[in-house]
Amino acid sequence: MRWTFLSTGICCFGFLAGCAQTRLGGELPAARPLAADIPTFATSRSPEDPRPVKIEPQGDLSLTKALALALLHNPQLEAYGWQLRGNEAAILQSHLGPNPVVGLKVENFGGSPPLNRFEGSMTTLRISQAIELGGKRMRRTHLAEKEHLRSAWDYERQRLRVIGEVGRRFVTVLADQEALELGRQAAKLATDLYAIVKDRTDQGVSAGVELDKALVQVSARSIEVEQQTQQLKASKQRLAAMWGSGRVRFGNSVGELTEVHDVPPREDLIAQLEGNPDIARWSAEIALREAAVDLSQARAIPNLTVSGGLRRFNATDENAYVFELGLPLPLVDRNQGRRRQARYELEKAKALRRDAETEVHSRLGELYYSLSAHHHAVTTLRDQTLPAARSAFDTAQKAYREGVTDYINVLDAERTLIDTQYQHVASLSEYHQTVISLESLLGVSLDPE
């Protein structure tokens, strides 16, 4: 009867220990405004759940569509999402205390007579439970929640990095498309000039060497167009890789490469640094290390072990209860090494946060000065250099047809115009890529609209 009572008590004890309520705590940071309305990949509770279907883009591709594809299917961003799930599981585990231990002990048997059998043995059935002292469970849960918060900032930082990388690669595709179009125009221009030179050569007005030079230009422009075609294919492939695709199925990228806005004041950009994930992540890291210090101090307090059970005396056919308390004496191991290590890790995190703040402000300054330079280059090329180059070429071409100048001047004017056009496209690409880098750093859009 007593054995049955003890067995029931053991089952109830185990049931109560295993049914402690758990919760997932900790407020996660809100996403920065940049592309916050575009959904990202949501990890499921189970890795076995079906993954979202990836619909490859067909036809023209906009930046918004490219961002939507990347945020849903980028493998690196997905990995950070699974890290968040892992942290949630760690919070769940941190709520759980140690399991009870059931033991069976048999004494005084199998020796010399009269103890060579089991008639004189003692059998003890015991259940032991370690009781955590010093608030270890609470501090352990607090540590897991802070680690979850740090991972959330890492996820947001990776989200902004994906947005920035998609934007930069998208701009590269736009610039390569524009360069290819310029190359085709340059090839047509070279062909048209070749026809003019050939006509003048046939009339005996121009020397044959000018015809050869014109033919060289036609060949050079043809090679250039082929190189630009392959470069565009490569840049499209790099863009498609952002959503984990090994093939390019979309056509042209659609966007306004020539759209340029005024450079905002630097003070306004600095004000937007609040909430920057690269800095906030280290604030979360410091909170995590402070929680680790608290936990290391709590672990210096030994746990109390409570044991109780029933002992059976076979020799007298009697039973008795047993009860035991155990408390380790912290004479040698007081967790002093891990406590000191936790404090050092905290100081390390503080130093790295200062370094992150310096790096972010320095990066902001570099991007701001670079943006100002690219903006000046774009506007100067657009408003002054390109009109002058077009005017010079038109004048030289007209003078050549009228026999006032030679082919060398026309060729020089043509090269100047084409180089200026390429320089304009390159400056536009650098301007927009710098804007995108600033936006991904700040987490906000710089478009005034």
Give the residue carrying structure tokens 């026999």: 403
| Tens place of pLDDT per residue across the chain (449 aa) | 344 434 444 444 443 344 444 444 456 778 888 888 888 877 776 776 766 677 888 889 999 999 999 999 999 999 999 999 999 999 999 999 999 999 999 887 766 666 566 677 888 999 999 999 999 999 999 999 999 999 999 999 999 999 999 999 999 999 999 999 999 988 988 888 888 878 878 777 666 787 888 888 889 989 999 999 999 999 999 999 999 888 899 999 999 899 999 999 999 999 988 888 999 999 999 999 999 999 999 999 999 999 999 998 887 888 999 999 999 998 898 999 999 999 999 999 999 999 999 999 999 999 999 999 999 999 999 999 999 999 998 898 888 777 777 777 888 888 899 899 999 999 999 999 999 999 999 999 988 76
C-alpha 379/C-alpha 428 separation (Å) is 9
Q: Using an 8 Å Cβ cutoff, are 164 and 437 in contact?
A: yes
C-alpha 426/C-alpha 432 separation (Å) is 10
pLDDT score of 317 = 84
Domains of the chain by residue range: 136-300+338-442
Domain 136-300+338-442 has CATH 1.20.1600.10: yes
Which pTM does this prediction carry? Answer: 0.83
To which H or E segment does residue 325 belong?
strand 318-326
pLDDT score of 36 = 86
> Which distant-in-sequence residues (6+ apart) come within 8 Å of 294 by Cβ?
139, 142, 143
pLDDT score of 275 = 82
Alpha helix (H) residue ranges in 300-442: 336-380, 386-401, 407-442
